[in-house]
Chain A
Amino acid sequence: MNWRVKVERRVSYPRFFPTVVLLFSLLGGFVLIGLLFLISHVNPLFALWKIFSGSFGSLYGITETITKAIPLILIGSGLALVFRAKFWNIGAEGQLLIGAIFAGYVALNLGPKLPFYVIVPLMFVAGFIGGALWALPTVILKLRLNVNEVISTLMLNYIAAELLNFLITGPWKGKTQMGFPYTDDFPHSAVLSVVPGTRIHLVTLCLALLFAFALFIMVYYTRFGYELRVTGDNPDAARYAGIDFMKVTLIMMIISGGVAGIAGVGEVAGIHHHLSYPSSISSGYGYTAIIVAWLAKLNPLLTILSGLFFAGIVVGGDAIQVSLGLPAATVQIFNGILLFSLIMGDYFLNHRVKLVVREAP
């Protein structure tokens, strides 16, 4: 007798099954994370409690969580779109930064001359265009020269970050910032108003909710969404059906890059009020949003929930850094493990793994 592991494709499953798998993979992820806490001599249950009480347990925590959820929802819903067509845009971080740069240009140059009701929409439009422009070359490279989009989008992140570094230490360096590598502060007309006592910039929050909803409608109810889903599911069938691959990919990447750009606008105009180091503007939202989209099962509407969840982890992670003395990388490890377990979960959703006993020949 010997044991053998047999893997077969799961053809059909009950309706609730994906949710069960999702919960189990989250649970599995938390168990792994718990082991990490154990290694650092921290009670894992206590640490988890700290994280979620830090982010959802107080009014301050909740407002911070919402603030950080804004870019995650925006980017995540855009990524849900392109991931569904199996176009792996890892470049949202760079698209966000370029959006911020475009908004910064508008704010610093036109801000003093124009009233807020002109300048704010202008900043968002500029941010959208900036993010979209940063996303487009990867589509051309992929479809014309067969360059893997994972590489091209990822590399463009570094170029965007260095471009921003160059601007804030060079030509755009602020005269009023006493030598700090920031641009001058945005004029009043270019600063987004916040909910009093918090950092929640309402306009961007509304845009995030609006995009999550609009993209949800787009994916599931429009002709374009249908073409996108067919393309992602079976590119050969899409070709057979006369679907224009170039058109579909271009449109969805314009949207995905554009919403990342809008997230960048929100960060600089709503929170920082000037351009500064890439890592302080974004703190990795473009990467975290990948997990946000995945946890939402690539459903743009559900990114509202998963965005809040991960924003909570970011905020709570900051809290345990202080209270438990854990390194700053903890949150990133946390997120990475969760992404792994979610992807593993997808495997078990589509495959049945069995142990079979076989008589020795």
Chain B
Amino acid sequence: MIGITKTFGNVIANRDINLQVEAGEILGLLGENGAGKTTLMNIVYGLYRPDSGAIKINGKPVSLSSPAHAMAQGIGMVHQHFKLIQNHTVLENIALGYKDAPFLFPTRKVAHDLRRLQENYGLEINPDVYVWQLSAGEQQRVEILKALFRGADLLILDEPTSVLTPQEAQGLFRTLSRLASEGHSVIFISHKLDEVLSICNRVTVLRHGQVVGTKDTAGVDKRELARMMVGREILFDLKRKDVKKGGVVLEVQGLHVNNDRGLTSVSDVSFDIKAGEIFGIAGVSGNGQQELVEALTGLRPIDSGQILVNGRDISRASPYTINAMGVSHIPEERIKFGTAPSLAIFENAVLKQHGNRAFSGRLFLDFASIKEHAKRIVSNFKVRTPSIDVPVRTLSGGNIQKLILGREISGKPSLLIASHPTYGLDVGATQYIRSQILQLREKSVAVLLISEDLEELVELCDRIAVMFKGKIMGIVAREDLNLEHIGLMMTGSHARSACEAGK
């Protein structure tokens, strides 16, 4: 790939990217969320067309106009979220869309060829079981088989280990090595440094849509990769006043929480947050942060442990009670959870608080006070809208986030839980929301800030905890902050060993 550039509106997703994969090589593609990895791979797979630049395969320039076209050129992709049909068998999934399959009884021919392929690569799987019966690792194996079956020479795997257990990941690595030794090329997208170092030959690091550098994995260590990935230049342009901390507002002790599949996703987590303190949780998403927040806000039952807010046990309280106790919550998926899109702005401005005395009697809502409240939020938090009577779905993402922030802050909380509050927002909205969070700190509110954006955490937090696989790897105070330690803990090193590695 030579000089690839892709823009979406005003956002430059990829700028002048050069990328080269050789036959029999596993190339790591490393970068934070939003660094442009996925966009780049979607270009290779024919889902997007680049604004400029060229793609060459075996030296010949090609123009990839669709995934079918990319497949015909020998490019196969395994998406992070599998694209299999749950109610079909493995065999049927592989036969589906395979253009050389005969019209009648397509699975017969496929079954025969598939057995040969499986033997070649040691990809064991029973072709007659239904996909829904398979574990994530097995489903991934089906995806790989599907790609190989269509003659993929270049296999792209988008964060393949994010859904796997460690054992399954080891199995995947063995498969990939075998593929490489047979002459296939692999692009391995990840933000887990260990994995990239252990299985890739070379690694290319992306940041803000640009290539930071390409290194041989033999001559590089985790620390250096972390620095390349996160970047050194972090702007401290927000004013952080000294604030006298108050008493403990949130106390979490030995918390265990299960995820939807019944597996432990938060394990033995303990921390506390004082009034006037911003406590950050860093970590790659999917390491238990979402389950932690859901447990704290009453949306998910806890397995064991205790959660205290201002000394009162809320471990088994409902979302409504928890909110009434002064806990505000800016949810991770603001469109999904934070608003009712067809309802007007003023109606959304009291979501969760609609039962408060100020806005509602026993039966009837008090629209006058609700509208007044909504007007106050819209003007105080600079929500850009023609009026408070329009449905929320007409607002932009940044304005919806300001509305939610305004609503959650105006409840005068003693604790604010903010999940990725600036994710996907433009620079202006991001800075505005960060400054509002800092102001809350000055008003002696305790803030729990969950973010994948290390820059944001460093800018705002008094202390940062790092979560990895449901556990807190360590809690670092602002004064002792070292980005590289944090980066290492995010990939599973413990606090002490991370410190030593950093020195």
List A residues at the B interface (Cβ < 8 Å): 11-12, 221-224, 226-227, 229-230, 233-234, 236-244, 361
In the bound complex, residues from chain A placing their C-beta under 8 Å from that of B319 are 239-242
**Are B352 and A223 in touch, CB under 8 angstroms?**
no
- Whether, in the assembled complex, B499 has its beta carbon less than 8 Å from a beta carbon of chain A, the answer is no
Closest chain B CB from A213 CB (angstroms): 15
Can you list 9 contacts pairing A with B, beta carbon distance less than 8 Å? A11-B394, A12-B390, A222-B365, A224-B363, A226-B365, A233-B342, A236-B336, A236-B337, A237-B337
Report the nearest A residue to B319, measured CB to CB: A242
Identify the 5 closest CB pairs spanning chains A and B, nearest first.
A242-B320, A242-B319, A233-B340, A241-B352, A240-B337
Most buried by A among B340, B342, B343, B354: B340
Q: Are B340 and A230 in contact (CB under 8 A)?
A: yes
Contacts of A361 in B (CB 8 A): 65
Chain B residue with minimal CB distance to A224? B363
Interface of chain B residues 297 through 347 with chain A (CB within 8 A): 297-299, 318-323, 329, 331, 336-343, 347
In the complex, the answer to whether A221 meets B365 with C-beta atoms within 8 Å is yes
A361 to B65, CA, bound (A): 9
What distance in Å separates the Cβ of A85 from its nearest Cβ neighbour in chain B?
12
Query: C-beta contact mask, B55-77 vs A, less than 8 Å → 1, else 0?
Result: 00000000001000000000000
Q: Which residues of B contact A230 (CB under 8 A)?
A: 340, 343, 347, 351
Interface residues of B in 345-395 (CB under 8 A from A): 347, 351-352, 354-355, 360, 363-365, 367, 390-391, 393-394
Name A225's closest neighbour in chain B (CB-CB).
B365
Verify B323–A242 contact, CB threshold 8 A: yes
Given contacts A11-B393, A242-B320, contact A223 B340 (CB under 8 A): no
- Assess the B393–A223 pair: CB atoms within 8 A: no
Q: Does the CB pair A233–B341 fall under 8 Å? A: yes
In the complex, what residues of A have CB within 8 A of residue B352's CB?
Answer: 240-242
A237 near B340 (CB under 8 angstroms)? yes
Choose among A222, A234, A240 the residue that contacts B363 (Cβ–Cβ < 8 A).
A222
Beyond A221-B365, A236-B337, whether A242 also contacts B298 by CB under 8 A is yes
Query: Which residue of chain A has its CB nearest to the CB of B350?
Result: A226
Residues of chain B within 8 A (CB-CB) of A226 are 347, 354, 365
Chain B residues, Cβ within 8 Å of A238: 340
Which interface residue of B320, B336, B354, B394 has the most chain A CB atoms within 10 A? B354
> A11-B393, A12-B390, A240-B319 known; A229 and B340 CB under 8 Å?
yes
Closest B residue, CB atoms, query A229: B343
**Given known contacts A229-B340, A230-B351, A237-B337, is B65 in contact with A223 (CB within 8 Å)?**
no
Known contacts: A221-B364, A222-B365, A227-B354. The answer to whether A239 contacts B340 by CB under 8 A is: no
Separation of A229 and B351 alpha carbons in the complex (Å):
11
Give the chain B neighbours of A243 by CB distance below 8 A: 320
- CB-based contact B299/A239 at 8 Å: yes
CA distance A68 to B41 in the complex (A): 63
B118 to chain A, nearest CB (A): 37
Cβ-defined contact, B354 with A223, below 8 A: yes
Chain A minimum-CB-distance residue to B297: A240
B364/A234 in contact, CB under 8 A:
no
Chain B residue at smallest Cβ distance from A11: B394
**Closest chain A residue to B49 by CB distance?**
A361
Of chain A, the residue at the smallest CB distance from B391 is A12
Chain A residues within an 8 Å CB radius of B394: 11-12
Within 8 A of A (CB), among B385-413: 390-391, 393-394
A227's nearest neighbour on chain B, judged by CB, is: B354
The residues of A that contact B342 with a CB separation of less than 8 Å are 233
Q: Identify the closest chain A residue to B336 (Cβ).
A: A236
Q: Is the CB of A223 within 8 A of B351?
A: no
Cβ–Cβ contact A223 & B355, under 8 A: yes
B340 neighbours in A (Cβ, 8 Å): 229-230, 233-234, 237-238
Residues from chain A with Cβ under 8 Å of B393 in the complex: 11
- Shortest CB–CB separation between residue A242 and chain B, in angstroms? 3
Scoring A11, A12, A239, A242 by chain B CB atoms within 10 A of each residue's CB, the highest score goes to A242
Q: In the complex, what residue of chain A is closest to B347 when comparing beta carbons?
A: A226
The CA-CA distance from A317 to B367 in the complex, in Å, is 44
Residues A242 and B365 in contact, CB atoms below 8 Å apart? no
- Contact in complex: B329, A240 (CB < 8 Å): yes
Most buried by B among A237, A239, A243: A237
B273 to chain A, nearest CB (A): 21
Binary contact track B3-42/A, C-beta < 8 Å → 1, others 0: 0000000000000000000000000000000000000000
Q: What is the distance, in angstroms, from A352's C-beta to the closest C-beta of chain B?
A: 14
Given the known interface contacts A230-B343, A242-B298, the answer about A237 and B363 at a Cβ–Cβ threshold of 8 Å is: no
Q: Which residues of B contact A224 (CB under 8 A)?
A: 363
Q: Is A242 in contact with B318, judged by CB distance below 8 angstroms?
A: yes
Min Cβ gap B20→A in Å is: 27
Q: Which residues of chain A are near B339, meaning CB under 8 Å?
A: 234, 237
B313 to chain A, nearest CB (A): 18
